[in-house]
Structure formats: C-alpha cells, structure tokens
Amino acid sequence: MQSLSNKKVLLGITGGIAAYKSAELVRLLIKAGAEVRVVMTPSAQKFVQPLTYQALSGHRVYLDLFDAEAESAMDHIELARWCDLLLVAPASADFLGKMNAGYADNLLLTLCLASPQPVAVAPAMNQQMFANPATQENIKQLAAKQVLLWGPASGEQACGDVGLGRMLEAQQLFDNVLLHFSPGKLAGVKLLLTAGPTREAIDPVRYISNRSSGKMGYALAAAAIEQGASVTLVSGPVALPAPAGADLIAVESAQQMYDAVMQRAPASDVFIACAAVSDYRVDQAANQKIKKSSDSLSLKLVLNADILATVSALAPRPFCVGFAAETQDVEKYALGKLQQKKLDMIAANQVGDGNSGFETDFNQLEVFWRDGRHSIGHASKAEVANQLIELIAERYTCARSRQAQQT
C-alpha cells in the first residue's frame, strides 16, 4: 500500500446515511500512515456517534465552533492550518449550498473558509436533489473556486431510488487521497479532448448524426484529470454529466467543434480527438421543416473540415492522438490515418458488433504509434480509459524528452 506518512487529513462529516462509510475511510487513511482529525456537524452526530471516530482516529472529535475545551487545545484557525487536505465526506446538499455561499455558521463551514489547504468534497444525497438545478449550480461554482469534487457515484440509494448521488465508497475516496498527494503522470499538462457525436442540421427538426454516446471520451477526461491534467472537454450532445474538474465546452455541429478546438489547440500540450465527428454536412440546411411531398428526397452533402488533421498541421502543435472506429480492416485503416494525418498515436476499435464501442459501456483498443503498438483488452470504458491515458502519458513524456534533446 502506498504510504501517506506525514500527511495530515482533516475529515469533515455532514448529516446523511453515508456518514457510516467515513468510519472505514478513517481506518484506511490511518493504516496508510496519515494523521487524521475529524470534524462533525450537528446533523452528522444524529447518524453516527462521535465516539466512533474518536476511537478510530485516536483523537478527540471536533464538534462545536464555541467549544472552550477544544479551543484551548487547538483553535479552529490553527486546525484549518494544520491539515494538508480538508475532505468533507459525506457532503450534503445543504452543506454544499452553504459552502458555496460562504456561510460559516458551524465549525466545519468555518474551517472550509479558513483553510489555506486544498478542500475536497464527496457529495451524497438523493438523486433528485443532486439533479436539481440549484445543486448543480452550487457544484459548478464550487469547482470554479478550485474545490475538488470527488463523486458522486450512481446506484441504489437508501431511499430506494436509483441514480447519481451516492457517496463514493471509502476505498474510492482513499484512492483519491492517494492520487491527490501523488502528482499524476500528466501533472501540469493542458489536455484538450473532444467527445460525443456531432449533429448536422437538415432542417430545424431533423439532423444527421451517429451512434456515439460520448462515454469513451468522458471516461478519458476523468482518467486524465486523475493523472493531474488540466482538461478542456469539447463535447457534442450527450446525456452524461461533465467529469468533475473538466472545463466543458458544449457544441452541436462539426463546425462548432472545429471552432472550439482551433481556439484552444495552440495553447494545449495534448490533443485527443475522441469525438465521432460527422464527415459530411448538408450543403444548405432548410430554414423551415421539409414537408413530405414525394417518394424520395435528395440532399447534397459537403465535406466537413478535418479537425484532427488541422490540429496536427499546426506549428508548433500539441501531441496528437486520434481514434479510428472501424467495422472492418481495423489495423489497415488505423495505420493509414496515423500516417496520413501525421499523428503521434491512434487508438482503433471494432464497432458494430454490439460488444464494444458505440452505445455500450465496454471497449477494447489497438493503439499504434510510429514504432510500436499496444493492445488494451475488452474491459469497461473507465478501465480502458485509464490504460490509454497511462500509455498517452508515457508516449508524451518520451516525445517531450526527444524534443528537449534536439534543442
């Protein structure tokens, strides 16, 4: 197990049934060598007794902003300075709203305001509460204030609902703490990524698109963020929440995606073209809905700009990674694109068989570069994304090293 020796974690617990998971988190943190102090809000104490956390952490639990005994041992400002990381898990909807507004009406909220150290929150609430626009706006604004958002997960909830809102499991939160204290392989890297489909209008009602769900691109964004990258995600229309920490740029057409990418590509270190961009668009989209008037309808299609090839032709340019979704001769077409577009890497996959690729939660890839290749076996898109990002980080580091030697 990776060590957290000499790391000081201040764990805040708010009211919610997920509070019981935090006991296991304290155990994991201490087992890894971290020093842990626990702060509980009044509502949290209605779910789990403070004595539990006192026994696990080996230290008294901080409960009250005006606790004279606690202040004599370590006042709240000193406690805020003491930690290397302040993690609130679970973080209720009420707490997130107050935190975003700058409230300081309990000890934990005061510590969040007073701490100069990074603050992370692990949201936990009913799926409908999480989906509420007020909660989403609070989360968006907290992310803009550099608060780390860990979760939530999707699944069955205590109330019986199923959806996004579950707090991450203790092991997942522990892994996030490890990642936080261990700079990722893409730390400091500006990564630009496209995901999802594009839509090319036929008229105000109809459009040309494809079967991309965006799941692979969004998984790549999350994996890159975990490795420390600063991620800008240019996404076509999808039914997915933006990965926590990503700068999401929502677009619809191929031209809109092209414009968004070209505006940001020159300042990026790595560009991953994962979106399924429409190759063609209607030459002249109708201003009004086209009425059914004959047995056939002819549309003139014209070629869209090739986003990946355009970025690859920039000088200087980012490290360019392409995707090739093919129904046949996967290796042949992938290697052709790698050479024709002068890419650094290309990830190719077979689509259309229903087992991986479009509209599924699984994928498998054959990854090629100029003098090598690597296979990523059939797995969840999250796992495939983790492996691909590791590989991209490795090849990017090699390319950067070669450039440094040449200069």
- Residue labelled with tokens 């989209």: 285
15: tokens are 């009211």
Smallest CA-to-CA distance from 216 within 318, 349, 320, 309 is with 349
Amino acid sitting at position 407: T
Under 8 Å between Cβ of 189 and 230: yes
Q: Which residue has the tokens 């390319």?
A: 399
Q: Which of 83, 112, 159, 320 is catalytic?
A: 159
Instruction: Kindly compute the dihedral angle of the four CA atoms of residues 303, 308, 312, 317, in this order, to the nearest 10 degrees.
Output: 130
**What is the spatial distance between Cα 172 and Cα 174, in angstroms, rounded to a whole number?**
5
Asked whether the beta carbons of 344 and 399 are under 8 A apart, the reply is: yes
Question: In whole angstroms, what is the distance from residue 2 CA to residue 32 CA?
Answer: 7
Axis crossing angle, helix 215-226 with helix 381-406, rounded to the nearest 10? 60
Query: Catalytic annotation on 159?
Result: yes
Other CB atoms closer than 10 Å to residue 60's CB: what's the count? 16
Where would I find the beta strands (DSSP E) of 142-279?
Answer: 148-149, 153-156, 162-166, 190-195, 200-201, 207-208, 230-235, 247-250, 270-273
CA dist 53 and 61 (Å) reads 7
Contact between 150 and 121 under an 8 Å Cβ cutoff? The reply is yes
Q: Name, in order, each residue with C-beta under 8 angstroms of 400's C-beta and a sequence gap of 6 or more.
A: 319
Residue tagged 């990564």 (tokens): 191
Q: Within 13 Å and on the Cβ side, how many CA atoms surround 258?
A: 13
Neighbours of 239 (CB within 10 A): 8
Any idea which residues carry the catalytic annotation? Answer: 159
